Structure 1
Amino acid sequence: MHLLSVFPALQVKNYRIFWITQWIALIGFWLQLTAQQWLVYTMTDSALLLGLLSACQFAPSLLFTLFTGLWIDKHNKRKILMGTQLFYLIQASLLGLLLWTGHETYLWILFFAFFVGTIDSFDMPARMAFMPELVGKKALHSAISLNSANFNITRMVGPLLAAFLLKYLSYSTIFFMNALSLVPIIIAYSRMDVNSVIEETEKRHPILEIREGLKQAKNNPVIYKNLIAAAIVSGLILNLGTYGPLFADRVLHEGIDGFGSILFAAGAGSMVSGLLAGASTRHLSNTMIFRAAVLCGVLLMAVSYVHYFIPALFLFALLGFFIIAFIVNCNTVIQMASPKEFLGRIMGLYTFVFLGSAPFGSLLVSFIIEQVGTSLGLLLVGALAIGLLVIFARPADEMHSLS
């Protein structure tokens, strides 16, 4: 009972069921993702083809989320989420079957990565739009924070467990395990006594309705400035998979073990940040969210000056802490500022900018590092992020405080 009093969202029975089953599903997700990445690397021995795998998974977010957001606004979000979990289960089962029968090829794995990305383009905005219905606005900040803590705890555990299991189990078994991990959350969604209230509105052309959602975001400074900040942080700072291996190898000279330690440190900081935020029903002000984003850029610049292992891990832990502080509060204020009838569209737009900026940011970060070196490159990337945030994402109250 003490745990329920600490975390407001866990006082909601439906959310407790969701949170527990999400743990199982996320462990399965990281098992499959880690196994799939290692499978492609062993099949191709190519960093480029491994990068193409990630691009295929992100591409549907760029292609579909603006349209899926509108569709989500018109349908029952709980039922949509039941459907996405079922499609995740089908995808994992088919991929496992492909490997079990010995018919796997690189192109087939690319196809399934695109398939997963397509499901993501429905699942992510629907899940975010469903949270206010599940817990109410009072506990929304706590729910988003606990979701983030879940994700980062399983991000630390899942890859390590996958590396251990792959010594004894086949790739197909790992994929089948992921499929099984989705069964509890499908059952949980089916038993939740939460149903979206779909308001009847005049039927209009989808493009016009999407344009209305974009107009809502544009005309609300809280929404559009936080969307811009999310794109900047996601594209330039959140790309640990781009600059982390280079920093671990070229600067720290610790190789793959060093990269693993960097990911663990960032994950640990993220987990602490998510749990602390989860114990609160209040979100940060717009000014504090902006300053958290700027601090992420400052910490990345600080990392560029470090050449020793332990201090670097400390800075990456701090970076993980403030990245999650920014993301959780940014997500919360956008949802709180969004009219209910536009929430699916605005969450689709959030998914579009947050995931869609990642591949472009990754290319820019890698280009800068290759041109000027790893340490100077990170210094420039951090400075670029701060400059863009100040120019495009600074809230009105922050402008007044600096004038």
Structure 2
Amino acid sequence: MRLLQLFPALTVKNYRIFWITQWVALIGFWLQLTAQQWLVYTMTDSAFLLGLLSACQFAPSLLFTLFTGFWIDRHNKRKILLGTQCTYIAQAALLGLLLWTGNETYLWILFFAFFVGSIDAFDMPARMAFMPELVGKKALHSAISLNSANFNLTRMIGPLLAAFLLNYISYSSIFFLNALSLIPIVIAYTRMNVNSVVEEKPESHPLKEIREGLLQAHKNPVIFKNLIAAGLVSGLILNLGTYGPLFADRVLHAGINGFGSILFAAGTGSMICGVLSAMASRQFSRKFIFGNAIACGLTLMAVSHVSFQIPALTIFGILGFSLTLFLINCNASIQMASPKEYLGRIMGLYTFVFLGSAPFGSLLVSTIIEFIGTSMGLLVVGALEIGLLSIFARPDEKK
């Protein structure tokens, strides 16, 4: 029990059940994502078509999250999450069945990528809005940190496990395993004793409710400026998949193994940050969060002219730590500042900004690197992030 007391969120029984089952579910998620990417690459031998796969999975976040937010505010969040997990199981099983029967095509895989992204558009904002109900606001920071540690540790394990398993079992078996991995969390949601009260509200037009959520976010400087910072960091710094392969190949001259090492180093830094942050329950100031966002840009600038692998991996580990420290506290700060009746809409807006900025940021980063080179490009991207943050997201002096 003394170990549990180090992590405030784990003292809550319902969260412990959620956290343990998330381990299994997230490993299944990374198994499917890795297998799906390799499958498309082997089917098409095209970097563009592989990128289109990712675009199809992120597109629903741009299309739907502003609308799903107000719907989440009107419904029981635990039941929404129970529904999304069951739908995840259905898509994984159907995709596995498609491959098992030998009817897979690239277009079918694109369809299922869009299908998963559509479920994400409901699941991600609902899950974030559910956390305060699950653990209470005092343990919210700890819960978000543990969720981040879970995500980053399974991101390190899942792809390696998928690569190992694909030597012995089929792609369809990987997708069936993902479906099975979701069963424990479905059972957990059915047994959680969470009083997810939904206040009765008069019927109003969805666009009016969305507008009210946007106005609430805009007039609250904590929410508004943190949303801007989240979009800038996500779009310019978090795109390791865009600049990581180029840095590994052109600067470190280490090829795909170098890129894997970069992801592992960043993931290790992220995981360490998640575990350490989970021990704290304090609410950090806006200046602290802003400083972490600036640190992400400075770290990218620092690595831009390092050409030796060990120092570069060390800096990428620091970058992973800084990114996770920013994202944990930014997310927690937005949730703490959001009125309960608007939380679903504001988390939908957070999802829209966080995921929606990634494709545009990736295009901008790749264009800058293409024109001025990898090292100089990363230096410019880091400086650009710092400049934009200073103009649009700097906290008020009195804060």
- Normalization by structure 2: what TM-score? 0.99
Residue 189 (structure 1) aligns with: 189
- Greater shift, 192-201 or 90-99, is seen at 192-201
Residue 79 (structure 2) aligns with: 79
Residue 283 (structure 2) aligns with: 283
Residue 168 (structure 2) aligns with: 168
- Return the offset for 1:3: 2.0
Residue 63 (structure 1) aligns with: 63
Residue 24 (structure 2) aligns with: 24
Residue 371 (structure 2) aligns with: 371
Residue identity matched to 1:201: K
Residue identity matched to 1:151: F
Residue 235 (structure 1) aligns with: 235
Tell me how far apart the structure 1 counterparts of residues 198 and 85 of structure 2 sit (CA, whole Å).
22
Say whether the 8 Å CA contact 1:89–1:179 is kept in structure 2. yes
Tell me how far apart the structure 1 counterparts of residues 160 and 120 of structure 2 sit (CA, whole Å).
24
Residue 46 (structure 1) aligns with: 46
- Return the offset for 1:203: 1.2
- Greater shift, 136-145 or 274-283, is seen at 274-283
Tell me how far apart the structure 2 counterparts of residues 268 and 384 of structure 1 sit (CA, whole Å).
26
Residue 357 (structure 2) aligns with: 357
- Return the offset for 1:202: 1.7
Structure 1 runs of 4+ with >6 Å offset: none
Residue identity matched to 2:222: V
Tell me how far apart the structure 2 counterparts of residues 284 and 296 of structure 1 sit (CA, whole Å).
17
Deviations along 1:336-358, one digit per CA (max 9) or x if unpaired, are 00000000000000000000000
Deviations along 1:267-304, one digit per CA (max 9) or x if unpaired, are 00000000011001113210000000000000001110
Residue identity matched to 1:355: L
- Return the offset for 1:122: 0.2
Residue 221 (structure 2) aligns with: 221
Instruction: For 1:116-265, list aligned pairs within 5 A.
Output: 116-265=116-265
Residue 295 (structure 1) aligns with: 295
Say whether the 8 Å CA contact 1:76–1:195 is kept in structure 2. no
Say whether the 8 Å CA contact 1:68–1:121 is kept in structure 2. yes
Long gaps (5+) in structure 1:
none
Identical-pair percentage: 77
Residue identity matched to 2:11: Q
Deviations along 1:288-338, one digit per CA (max 9) or x if unpaired, are 000000000000011101000000000000000010000000000100000
- Return the offset for 1:22: 0.2
Tell me how far apart the structure 2 counterparts of residues 180 and 200 of structure 1 sit (CA, whole Å).
36
Say whether the 8 Å CA contact 1:77–1:195 is kept in structure 2. no
Instruction: Give the secondary structure class of the aligned counterpart of 1:396.
Output: coil
- Return the offset for 1:195: 3.0
Say whether the 8 Å CA contact 1:138–1:281 is kept in structure 2. yes
Tell me how far apart the structure 2 counterparts of residues 265 and 373 of structure 1 sit (CA, whole Å).
23
Tell me how far apart the structure 1 counterparts of residues 67 and 165 of structure 2 sit (CA, whole Å).
39
Residue 274 (structure 1) aligns with: 274
Tell me how far apart the structure 1 counterparts of residues 321 and 218 of structure 2 sit (CA, whole Å).
29
Tell me how far apart the structure 2 counterparts of residues 207 and 373 of structure 1 sit (CA, whole Å).
44
Instruction: Give the secondary structure class of the aligned counterpart of 1:52.
Output: helix
Tell me how far apart the structure 2 counterparts of residues 284 and 310 of structure 1 sit (CA, whole Å).
32
Residue 91 (structure 1) aligns with: 91
Deviations along 1:330-388, one digit per CA (max 9) or x if unpaired, are 00010000000000000000000000000000111111111111101100110110011
Alignment size in residue pairs: 399
Residue identity matched to 1:50: L
Deviations along 1:29-56, one digit per CA (max 9) or x if unpaired, are 0000000001001111111100000000
Residue 34 (structure 1) aligns with: 34
